[in-house]
Amino acid sequence: MSNCIFCRIAEGSLPSKIIYDDEYTMAILDIAPERPGHTIVIPKKHCENLLDCDQDTLLHVMNAVRLVTRNLKTGGAKAIKVVQNTGAPLQEVFHLHFHVIPYND
């Protein structure tokens, strides 16, 4: 989807700081982080939200969320917040994504 920012990042036409990349998913640093290390996990396949995503894609995304969470904990985070918004007005970018936010205090 050419007008979707996360699709454009996944296809490489927009720059990003990639933390993790596989055949199905990508994890990037948030450009406006809530905390240092704030990471966004996306499927490379366009899904609008959690309810729009097929089971296989969601499985890959959740495995990537778990991997990023594990890496942040190993890197010293005391706690991790995982957030996913489905639907307006909470969802600002209509491409499924999970925020993985480390807390050190």
Q: Which of 46, 95, 97, 99 is catalytic?
A: 97
Alpha-carbon span 50 to 86, nearest angstrom: 6
Locus of tokens 């998913």: 25
Beta-carbon-side half-sphere exposure of residue 29 (alpha carbons within 13 Å): 12
For residue 46, which amino acid is it? H
97 in active site: yes
Alpha-carbon span 32 to 51, nearest angstrom: 26
Q: Which residues are catalytic?
A: 97
